[in-house]
Amino acid sequence: MAEPRSTAKGTAAEAVALISNAARARTNGPSAPLRERLIEVGLRGCGLLSIFTTASIILVLAIETFAFFREVTLAQFLFDTQWTPLFVDKHFGIWPLVSGTVLTTGIAILVALPFGLLAAIYLSEFAGQGVRRLLKPALEMLAGIPTIVYGYFALVFMTPILQAVIPGLAGFNSLSAGMIMGIMVIPMISSLAEDALYAVPNSVREGAYALGATRLSTIFRVVVPAAVSGIAASVILAVSRAIGETMIVAIAAGQQPRLTLDPRVPVETMTAYIVQVSMGDTPTGTLEYRSIFVVGATLFVMTFTMNFVSQRLTRRYRSAV
Amino acid sequence: MKQIGRRRGVVIERLFVALCLGAVIVPLGLVLVLLGNVLSDAAQRLDWAFLTSFPSRKAALAGVYPAFVGTLYLGFITAGLALPLGVGAAIYLEEYERRGRLANLIELNIANLAGVPSVIYGLLGLGLFVRVAGMGRSLLSGAATLALLVLPIVIMASREALRTVPLSLREGSYALGATRWQTIRQVVLPMALPGILTGSILAVSRAVGETAPLIIVGALTYVTLLPDGLGSPFTALPIQIFNWVSRPQAEFLLNAAAGIVVLLGTMLALNTTAILLRNRYQKRTY
Amino acid sequence: MRIPTILTCLMTIAFLLAASCGGGGQEGGIIRIDGSSTVFPITEAVAEEFQKENPARVTIGVSGTGGGFKKFCSGETAITGASRPIKPTEIELCGGHGVDYIELPVAYDGIAVVVHPDNDWVDHLTVEELKVLWQPEAQTKVVRWSQVRQGWPDEEIHLFGPGVDSGTFDYFTKAIVGEEHASRGDFTSSEDDNVLVQGISTDGLALGFFGYAYYAENSGKLRLMPVDDGDEGNGAGPIAASPTTVADGTYQPLSRPIFIYVDKGAAERAEVQAFVDFYLRNATVLVEEVGYIALPKRAYDLVSERFTNRVTGSLFAGSGSKVGVTVEDLLGGT
């Protein structure tokens, strides 16, 4: 036991060196005990699991998709306007399912965008801190409600109300499902757009006020344009979410693939088709089984692209501001 | 002239603020009204018998017992699978490999996986667990699929929690001669645990509410048994609700409403536990 | 320290469950049933009543007749419901997997053709008109009511029907179009008849078909269409489906027997045997309760004998559906 006073400086210097070495060390070196290295390998394995998951998704989808395209030509898939893969008069055009998805998603965004954007503007520009702390989580709770509950709402409440208002509205239709889906994705737009608006520096606003602009013109001519990439990112993310939504459309939108833009008739979305066929538990290796993976692959490509674009836009507005 | 213009401007602005506030209140109010309707419908059916009965062709006798038990089992097993793996991955990313190509790749994957629709996870479960791994339409397949689904959430929440632990604590531990894993296990993790648990419980709550992947991986229409092992067939609350909603008889819609209340109640209980945990532990630190 | 406690708790639960895993549960006495949506209500009722007397572990899926056979022939299920007899391809499939099946007719069904209650222009349909509507050539061509019969409104027709895995679909196409599986593809198809009921009962322009029990259960929401088969011999003019007209054979061509198929190997298990015996013993009561038409008592006795003697093979000589047969004739011949 050395005298603390006389070797304090020495000990301190050693300690500093040790800490900086430890802090700098990224992984255990070859001299680290075996147990440490094993644990590190184990943890790395956990990290690699996410890569494994992505790879598995791509593999599972790709294998069945390629098998599908050995029997069906790509031209049939892309250019036919009917989807009747299981019937005598077989058609493999993806467009009826895509149109069902696009129709419901379009209606959803038509509902969610105005509400979400106005809500975001309110929370960012007008609401006080207390109100904001209350309303923002409340809106986010909307996104936390299970989609089966929304599906129930669509079928049991929305459709009868709409049928009273719109004569000739079929029981299964894309309008009802789309509107409920819109309510579900409002938080995606409101939260992310609000983040984008909030991130616009106050100096920009103050500059506009100094030039004599009213609050409204500041918002619409200065703040919103400044946040436009963040807002766009939120909308794209909402679209991606709506495209991937399953239960609301499976319960309320119908199971009839048809190429149409009429919101009053039964349609079928890509996701509903996947659920419909897998409920019947088709065995591996049949065209039926493969068709759900092809549709799934199409869905995956669409949502992946949108998520990617959305991330890029988010990064851009975050770095710009 | 300018006075009138300014007053009109103020009025327009006030109208606009009201409109914006409406944009917040209307959806919330609508959902509250709908939930209220569900509650009143459910009240007609929800009682102890409902919770302990098996499904039946007679709506008045049908209950959620196997579905509720199935959901609880699924929740536990999913947590048992997702927690260790997710926390492990988070530890790796935060403590071992903060920068570098591998870490970036893993992060990129996690971000993408968080945005993949749940149907795709269902297809993954079907292709990988049910078929290739031969686990069949069993509780384990369902839980494994859900675990993969919520893994990104667990990882992201755990990373946040780990980040809240100050670097000085780690440095102090190293200074005392501890190894990296000792530091993690005895210093970092205990401090980050509340955050990790909160995030994990929220993730499990999300898993419990998922329907589509479970339908693709395991759905059965009528189940009179409780799961007795990992390989057992199962049903779950969302699937049972879906079955009842699909039946055209109006009485079954009451069952569906009651099932929804049970599901939302379960999720609410989980979320409240998470928040209580977080609040309790937040008071303890410092 | 909380970590070890909580983590070990989770681990323990997970491992306890793993330990109790009973090899897929087959040996655990689970009676796995799948198959036709038409037969499902009967099987569900039987399972429910059976459970009151015996601690039963029954699961029932609704994959459709075709889907059910695929699982049955791979040995995944012990019993499968079918709304049409087993087909030659399925017999081969079963043979290939070494699965012996016992064919047991359990009820008669009349396929109900229904429209929305507000539909006031259709009074009946002929087999010819149904054929015009449903044959493959109609795909995207016959899309309005006015194309089916002169004088009907020029509105879209929304069609609902069982999907390709459904025995009802197979039988309907054979009886109406003349060839099994020959149908247009652009309609709302679902193996779950409940979905069809829901769709038709909320759509004024809808028309569809499914097993009679689903009409009986929802008669307030649907309007039944009499069908005219053009054959004076078995009842003149349009005949509406009903327990009487199906039982006495005047509702043609859409009356047919529906079956359960039992895996001979699985029948050796005590619980499966008990279940099937219970099924046949209580069929008369439960079939009627559900909305189908019970076989005559003598027929059920013959069917029970068939099961007790474990008679395998199909009464339909493997040729699939035959239009217009009675079960007693078939069984009497055995």
Q: Which domains does chain B have, with CATH numbers?
A: 67-235 (1.10.3720.10)
**Mean pLDDT within A105-130:** 92
Neighbours of A (≥3 Cβ pairs closer than 8 A)? B, C
The alpha carbon of residue A8 is apart from the nearest alpha carbon of chain B, in Å, by 15
Residues A95 and A6 both lie in one domain: no
Please identify which residue in the block is written with the tokens 């609704």: C62
Which of B120, B169, B173, B222 best tests the A interface by mutation, with the highest count of A CBs <10 A? B120
For A119-135, write each residue's pLDDT tens digit. 999 998 888 888 888 88
**Mean pLDDT within C286-293:** 90
Residues A87 and A191 both lie in one domain: yes
Say what the ipTM of the complex is: 0.88
Residues A45 and A85 both lie in one domain: no
Rounded to 5 degrees, what angle do the CA atoms A166, A167, A170 make? 90
Alpha-carbon dihedral sign for residues A207, A211, A216, A219: negative
User: B267 touching C, CB under 8 A?
Assistant: no
Q: Check B117 against A46: CB less than 8 A apart.
A: no
* Percent share of chain B, pLDDT over 70: 95
The alpha carbon of residue B77 is apart from the nearest alpha carbon of chain A, in Å, by 17
- Over 80: is that where the pLDDT of C17 sits? no
What b-and-e string marks burial along B135-164, b requiring 16 or more CB atoms within 10 Å of the CB?
bbbbbbbbbbbbbbbbbbbbbbbbbbbbee
* Percent share of chain C, pLDDT over 70: 87
Residues A303 and A159 both lie in one domain: yes
Residues A201 and A313 both lie in one domain: yes
Rounded to 5 degrees, what angle do the CA atoms C228, C234, C240 make? 40
The alpha carbon of residue B107 is apart from the nearest alpha carbon of chain C, in Å, by 25
- Over 70: is that where the pLDDT of C28 sits? no
For C179-212, write each residue's pLDDT tens digit. 888 888 888 988 888 889 989 998 889 999 998 8
- Over 50: is that where the pLDDT of C23 sits? no
pTM: 0.86
**Mean pLDDT within B77-91:** 92
Last residue of a domain, one of A72, A98, A129: A72
Hey, how many other C-beta atoms are within 10 angstroms of the C-beta on A62?
A: 13
Q: Check A88 against C185: CB less than 8 A apart.
A: yes
Average pLDDT, chain A: 85
Instruction: Give dist(CA C242, CA A87) in Å, integer.
Output: 30
- Provide, as residue numbers in chain C, all residues whose Cβ is less than 8 Å from the Cβ of B219: 61
Residues A257 and A284 both lie in one domain: yes
Could you tell me the CA-to-CA distances from B187 to B163, B167, B174, C71, C317 in Å, in that order? 13, 11, 10, 54, 75
Q: How confident is the model at residue C321, as a pLDDT?
A: 65
Q: Check B231 against C3: CB less than 8 A apart.
A: no
C188: nearest CB among A82, A266, A282: A266
B:4-33 residues touching chain C, CB 8 A cutoff = none
- Provide, as residue numbers in chain A, all residues whose Cβ is less than 8 Å from the Cβ of C141: none
Q: Check C44 against B57: CB less than 8 A apart.
A: yes
Q: Can you give chain A as a three-state secondary structure string?
A: CCCHHHHHHHHHHHHHHHHHHHHHCCCCCCCCCHHHHHHHHHHHHHHHHHHHHHHHHHHHHHHHHHHHHHHCCHHHHHHCCCEECCCCCCEECCHHHHHHHHHHHHHHHHHHHHHHHHHHHHHHHHCCHHHHHHHHHHHHHHHHCCHHHHHHHHHHHHHHHHHHHCCCCCCCCHHHHHHHHHHHHHHHHHHHHHHHHHCCCHHHHHHHHHCCCCHHHHHHHHHHHHCHHHHHHHHHHHHHHHHCCCHHHHHHCCCCCCCCCCCCCCCCCHHHHHHHHHHCCCCCCCHHHHHHHHHHHHHHHHHHHHHHHHHHHHHHHHHHC
Residue C140's Cβ-side half-sphere holds a number of Cα atoms within 13 Å equal to 13
Residue C291's Cβ-side half-sphere holds a number of Cα atoms within 13 Å equal to 20
The alpha carbon of residue A50 is apart from the nearest alpha carbon of chain B, in Å, by 6
Q: How confident is the model at residue C222, as a pLDDT?
A: 93
Q: Check C184 against A266: CB less than 8 A apart.
A: no
Q: How confident is the model at residue C24, as a pLDDT?
A: 39
Q: How does residue A3 score in pLDDT terms, banded at 50, 70 and 90?
A: very low
Neighbours of B (≥3 Cβ pairs closer than 8 A)? A, C
Spell out the residues 6+ positions from residue B26 whose beta carbon is closer than 8 angstroms to its own: A115
Q: How confident is the model at residue B104, as a pLDDT?
A: 86
User: Is residue C165 a contact partner of residue C66, using CB atoms and an 8 Å limit?
Assistant: yes
Residues A62 and A82 both lie in one domain: no
For C148-157, write each residue's pLDDT tens digit. 888 898 988 9
* Domain, as residue range, for A28: 2-72
Q: How does residue C333 score in pLDDT terms, banded at 50, 70 and 90?
A: very low
Write the burial class of residue A248 (CB in 10 Å: 0-12 exposed, 13-18 middle, 19+ buried).
Answer: buried
User: C195 touching A, CB under 8 A?
Assistant: yes
- Provide, as residue numbers in chain C, all residues whose Cβ is less than 8 Å from the Cβ of A272: none
For A223-273, write each residue's pLDDT tens digit. 888 888 889 999 999 999 999 999 999 999 988 898 989 898 899 999 999
Q: Check A51 against B120: CB less than 8 A apart.
A: no
B:235-254 residues touching chain C, CB 8 A cutoff = 246-249
Please identify which residue in the block is written with the tokens 């520009």: A125
Average pLDDT, chain B: 87
A30-39, B229-238, C256-265: segment of lowest average pLDDT: A30-39
Alpha-carbon dihedral sign for residues B5, B11, B14, B15: negative
Q: Check A87 against C183: CB less than 8 A apart.
A: yes
Residues A174 and A29 both lie in one domain: no
**Mean pLDDT within A44-68:** 92
User: C181 touching A, CB under 8 A?
Assistant: yes
For A71-103, write each residue's pLDDT tens digit. 888 888 888 888 888 887 888 899 999 999 999
**Mean pLDDT within B260-283:** 86
A47: nearest CB among B89, B181, B246: B89
Residues A43 and A152 both lie in one domain: no
- Provide, as residue numbers in chain C, all residues whose Cβ is less than 8 Å from the Cβ of A151: none
User: B178 touching A, CB under 8 A?
Assistant: no
For A160-215, write each residue's pLDDT tens digit. 999 889 887 888 899 999 999 999 999 999 999 998 898 889 898 899 989 988 88
Residues A22 and A158 both lie in one domain: no
Q: Which of B167, B119, B160, B142 is nearest to B227 (CA)?
A: B142
B220: nearest CB among C60, C217, C218: C60
User: C20 touching B, CB under 8 A?
Assistant: yes
Could you tell me the CA-to-CA distances from B175 to A32, B178, C333 in Å, in that order? 16, 7, 93
Instruction: Give dist(CA A307, CA A302) in Å, integer.
Output: 9
- Provide, as residue numbers in chain C, all residues whose Cβ is less than 8 Å from the Cβ of A82: 139-140, 185-186
Residue of A nearest to B137 (CA): A281
Residue of B nearest to A45 (CA): B89
C:47-66 residues touching chain A, CB 8 A cutoff = 61-64
Residues A259 and A122 both lie in one domain: yes
Q: Check A274 against B122: CB less than 8 A apart.
A: yes
Residues A261 and A145 both lie in one domain: yes
Q: How many residue contacts between A and C have a Cβ separation below 8 Å?
A: 92
C218: nearest CB among B79, B185, B249: B249
Q: Check B117 against A245: CB less than 8 A apart.
A: yes
The alpha carbon of residue A184 is apart from the nearest alpha carbon of chain C, in Å, by 24
Residue of A nearest to C137 (CA): A89
Q: How does residue A104 score in pLDDT terms, banded at 50, 70 and 90?
A: very high
Last residue of a domain, one of A56, A72, A88: A72
Instruction: Give dist(CA B282, CA C3) in Å, integer.
Output: 16
Q: Can you give chain C as a three-state secondary structure string?
A: CHHHHHHHHHHHHHHHHHHCCCHHHCCCCCEEEEECCCCHHHHHHHHHHHHHHCCCCEEECCCHHHHHHHHHHCCCCCEEEECCCCCHHHHHHHHHHCCCEEEEEEEEEEEEEEECCCCCCCCCEEHHHHHHHHCHHHCCCCCEHHHCCCCCCCCECEEEECCCCCHHHHHHHHHHHCCCCCCCCCCEECCCHHHHHHHHHCCCCEEEEEEHHHHHHCCCCCEECCEECCCHHHCCCCECCCHHHHHCCCCCCCEEEEEEEEECCHHHCHHHHHHHHHHHHCHHHHHHHHCCECCCHHHHHHHHHHHHCCCCECCCCCCCCCCCCCHHHHHHCC
Q: How does residue A25 score in pLDDT terms, banded at 50, 70 and 90?
A: very low
Q: Which two tokens stand for residue C75?
A: 């040995």
Q: How does residue C27 score in pLDDT terms, banded at 50, 70 and 90?
A: very low
Query: Dihedral of the CA atoms B132, B134, B135, B141 (nearest 10)?
Result: 20
Q: Can you give B60-99 as a three-state secondary structure string?
A: HHCCCHHHHHHHHHHHHHHHHHHHHHHHHHHHHHHHHCCC
For A297-317, write each residue's pLDDT tens digit. 999 999 999 998 888 888 776
- Over 90: is that where the pLDDT of B230 sits? no
Q: Check B216 against A251: CB less than 8 A apart.
A: no
Last residue of a domain, one of A72, A104, A130: A72
Number of domains in chain A: 2
Q: Check C24 against B136: CB less than 8 A apart.
A: yes
For B90-129, write each residue's pLDDT tens digit. 999 888 867 788 888 888 889 889 999 999 999 999 888 8
Residue of A nearest to C166 (CA): A280
A50: nearest CB among B99, B109, B238: B109
Q: Check C185 against A159: CB less than 8 A apart.
A: no
* Percent share of chain B, pLDDT over 90: 35
B:231-250 residues touching chain A, CB 8 A cutoff = 238, 241-242, 245-246
**Mean pLDDT within C34-54:** 89
Q: How confident is the model at residue A22, as a pLDDT?
A: 47
For B15-69, write each residue's pLDDT tens digit. 988 999 999 999 999 999 999 999 999 998 888 888 988 888 888 888 899 899 9
Q: How confident is the model at residue C25, as a pLDDT?
A: 38
Instruction: Give dist(CA B256, CA B45) in Å, integer.
Output: 9
B96: nearest CB among A27, A122, A250: A27
Instruction: Give dist(CA A13, CA A10) in Å, integer.
Output: 5
B230: nearest CB among C17, C51, C194: C17
- The residue among B16 and B279 whose pLDDT is bigger is B16
Q: How confident is the model at residue A168, as a pLDDT?
A: 79
For A204-222, write each residue's pLDDT tens digit. 889 998 998 888 888 888 8
User: Is residue B175 a contact partner of residue A18, using CB atoms and an 8 Å limit?
Assistant: yes
Residue of B nearest to A297 (CA): B120
Instruction: Give dist(CA B105, CA B93) in Å, integer.
Output: 11
Q: How confident is the model at residue A2, as a pLDDT?
A: 43
CATH code, domain carrying A147: 1.10.3720.10
Q: Which of B129, B131, B148, B151 is nearest to B140 (CA)?
A: B129
Q: How confident is the model at residue A26, as a pLDDT?
A: 45
Q: Check C21 against B229: CB less than 8 A apart.
A: yes
Instruction: Give dist(CA C266, CA C278) in Å, integer.
Output: 16
Spell out the residues 6+ positions from residue B64 whose beta carbon is closer than 8 angstroms to its own: B50, B51, B53, B237, B240, B258, B259, B262
**Mean pLDDT within C82-95:** 90
